[in-house]
Chains A and B, each alone.
Chain A
């Protein structure tokens, strides 16, 4: 079909505008980075610190993002309550960790002292997510796409305010593990023990999840359901059961993330899931929603950018108090990735082989 001159001009203007934005953003980053590096305010140790903080934060985002991406892959639905599932895990772990710390168990067995709260949090989060799925999502399975989303927002509020009702609006300090205080020297650079342990734990969790999805029967069924629910049902797969196990698996990851988050930031409250939830959703979109390795990559990229961005390119531009703009960086990055690669860093993989 032949397009008119006017339409072609419009196309040209739009793409010119988009390119303008891309060039603008990239040049802002480059100029800012050069500006900062020229002042030489930070030592290389401090830059490494920024990256390490970012990786620890990013691996937690990644763990949460997995839940968003898996549920999206299977149901094409944004599980808005996922951030609050993360919160329930942290709360569950808080009580058992406080108890274990007070009895002296954690000091005696630091490894078990870390593992027990994580397992407990995974269990609680999975149980609550399964309940939420059963009560708030399953009855709406056939409804238009907006309906379960609204229901998810409702579930999110319900969880937040139920926990507020149970445990009050105050903040709780998560008990630190003594064995994780201080730092380890790695290649001559001191890195906080807790950051290392949290990052490693997150990577182990992700590896386990990847293994489950790719190499087990349940994982195979998940991928089949993600590809086509009806055909999967015809093949003898119990679709409801698979959906529930997807929710449970994603929630278990979020619950573990809740414990790791509490270990690093040491403070929990009923509203703690909101911001990390949104950030993890951003990470999932960033990596390509529906794509499991994408969620991991997206989380890490987001965490590192948030940590390093304010001091790397905002300070160089002469912006004072750049840390107030941390969230702006996260979301600008989302816009930028979507401009350059609309399907996310690793691409959306909804119906191809991977879940």
Chain B
């Protein structure tokens, strides 16, 4: 009998390998023909006389006069957190529309790659994109985990990516290492976000005992730690720091453990699935009926309302402060409304719009245009030009990139969910916003 069981188990192991192997493969279908660069190589020899000599250490992208200028977007486009990446992708698409779909006389071609919000997904997406030599630069990724998995591949392929929504502090830390040379972000670092939540909890809500839950992701783990450090520094007490698996559904045991420590404030800067389960179950646990709840930008989306049900009313969410955006955010929202209908899906559309425009500006700065319309983009020069961005007038603020890749203008606000109906989600609504800004 045990032999049979052994067989069953080994089959299961095989099956799980199959699962692992199948998941990334499923997204392989829409790979754009990588033949494009090959085609350009052939005529290269004939155009010899006036040819631009590429001396860039990372090489140049050559775009013939009839070829599109190819940029890519990588981020989470499916699964529970798909709205986070979809929202940013729309920001990039609007940025392209604003350019009239053309840059330096070439059509802009946007390739998208789903990175699944996991390190593995990020690695897969990055290696796929790195093989396409026609790509000039990228916007992405959405989740910090994706960047951790994929950034080295992109950097080493000579590419540069600007993330609209990664917030993990270490990604733009001064000691982040050479693998991150090709990585910048327009999103705020969670060093700011965690601090803002701590100040909000301590000063505005007046709570003194807080607990946190994270889901083991790079984003949540770091953010709750920043919060905890700042909360303690303000004079508060962290009574529990718990963690659950990303696919956990039963939160009641962990919440009971937290309840035994008697917190007044529960902070769970996680993603939609876990956030929804916690919110739906927390009021059932004895001792947590009155605890104040807060999450962060990872669940700043109508999907979180959909997943949480009625308990979501009164939950505080931190997010970039939309009212502090200096640029024409209202104009962006109008274009978004016209193009996609409905309100924005998540937090980082404006950051994605800015990321794309920073890249476009840098390309315009460094591109070498030949008489026949052929353009060459030296990769190192492009990367340096993006880093050299100073006082760029974006819609999230005036952006300047630091040497370690931080381009964001971080102003964080706390919003309160006023209504549990996902259809009412509209933080930008003037009269009846949901969620509504409550601090600062």
The reply to whether B15 and A265 form a contact with Cβ atoms under 8 Å apart is no
The distance from the CB of B336 to the nearest CB of chain A, in whole angstroms, is 19
Q: How far is the CA of A275 from the CA of B286 in the complex (A)?
A: 27
For B, the interface residue count at a CB cutoff of 8 angstroms equals 47
Q: Which residues of A contact B2 (CB under 8 A)?
A: 338, 342-343
The reply to whether B78 and A172 form a contact with Cβ atoms under 8 Å apart is no
The reply to whether A323 and B306 form a contact with Cβ atoms under 8 Å apart is no
Q: Which chain A residue has the least Cβ–Cβ distance from B310?
A: A176
Q: Is A88 an interface residue (CB 8 A)?
A: no
Q: Known contacts A157-B22, A170-B303, A173-B276: does B250 contact A307 (CB below 8 Å)?
A: yes
Binds B, one of A9-17, A40-48, A208-216, A232-240: A40-48
Q: Known contacts A43-B260, A149-B15, A311-B257: does B286 contact A173 (CB below 8 Å)?
A: no
The reply to whether A265 and B306 form a contact with Cβ atoms under 8 Å apart is no
The reply to whether A338 and B303 form a contact with Cβ atoms under 8 Å apart is no
Q: Which residues of A contact B254 (CB under 8 A)?
A: 310, 323
Hey, what's the 0/1 contact readout for B63-96 against A, CB within 8 Å counting as 1?
Answer: 0000000000000001110110000000000000
Q: Is B42 an interface residue (CB 8 A)?
A: no
Q: Which residues of B contact A45 (CB under 8 A)?
A: 286
Q: Is B229 an interface residue (CB 8 A)?
A: no
Q: How far is the CA of A45 from the CA of B260 in the complex (A)?
A: 11
Q: Known contacts A173-B307, A265-B249: does B257 contact A323 (CB below 8 Å)?
A: yes
Q: Which chain A residue has the least Cβ–Cβ distance from B273?
A: A171
Hey, what's the 0/1 contact readout for B282-299 against A, CB within 8 Å counting as 1?
Answer: 001110000000000000
Binds B, one of A22-30, A49-57, A112-120, A252-260: A49-57
Q: Kindly identify which residue among A50, A169, A324 contacts B80, using a CB–CB cutoff of 8 Å.
A: A169
Q: Is B1 an interface residue (CB 8 A)?
A: yes
Q: How far is the CA of A61 from the CA of B175 in the complex (A)?
A: 47
Q: Which residues of A contact B230 (CB under 8 A)?
A: none
The reply to whether B241 and A321 form a contact with Cβ atoms under 8 Å apart is yes
Q: Kindly identify which residue among B80, B83, B256, B280 contacts A265, using a CB–CB cutoff of 8 Å.
A: B280
Q: Kindly identify which residue among B79, B244, B276 contacts A169, using a CB–CB cutoff of 8 Å.
A: B79
The reply to whether A53 and B277 form a contact with Cβ atoms under 8 Å apart is no
The reply to whether B243 and A323 form a contact with Cβ atoms under 8 Å apart is yes
Q: How far is the CA of A225 from the CA of B380 in the complex (A)?
A: 71
Q: Which chain A residue has the least Cβ–Cβ distance from B86?
A: A169
The reply to whether A267 and B280 form a contact with Cβ atoms under 8 Å apart is yes
Q: Is A266 an interface residue (CB 8 A)?
A: yes
From 399 to 423 in chain B, residues with beta carbon under 8 angstroms from any chain A beta carbon are none
Q: Is B54 an interface residue (CB 8 A)?
A: no
The reply to whether B309 and A176 form a contact with Cβ atoms under 8 Å apart is yes
The reply to whether B250 and A265 form a contact with Cβ atoms under 8 Å apart is yes
Q: How far is the CA of A348 from the CA of B4 in the complex (A)?
A: 11
Hey, what's the 0/1 contact readout for B307-324 against A, CB within 8 Å counting as 1?
Answer: 111100000000000000
Q: Kindly identify which residue among A50, A169, A267 contacts B78, using a CB–CB cutoff of 8 Å.
A: A169
From 177 to 202 in chain A, residues with beta carbon under 8 angstroms from any chain B beta carbon are 190, 192, 194
The reply to whether A267 and B273 form a contact with Cβ atoms under 8 Å apart is yes
Q: Which residues of B contact A274 (CB under 8 A)?
A: 247
Binding site for A on B (CB under 8 A): 1-2, 5, 8, 11-12, 15, 18-19, 22, 78-80, 82-83, 216, 241-245, 247-250, 252-254, 256-257, 259-260, 272-273, 276-277, 280-281, 284-286, 303, 306-310
- Given contact pairs A49-B256, A321-B241, A327-B245, a sample of 14 additional A-B residue pairs in the complex whose CB atoms are under 8 Å apart: A169-B78, A169-B80, A171-B307, A172-B306, A173-B307, A265-B250, A267-B276, A267-B280, A269-B80, A269-B273, A276-B249, A323-B243, A323-B244, A324-B243
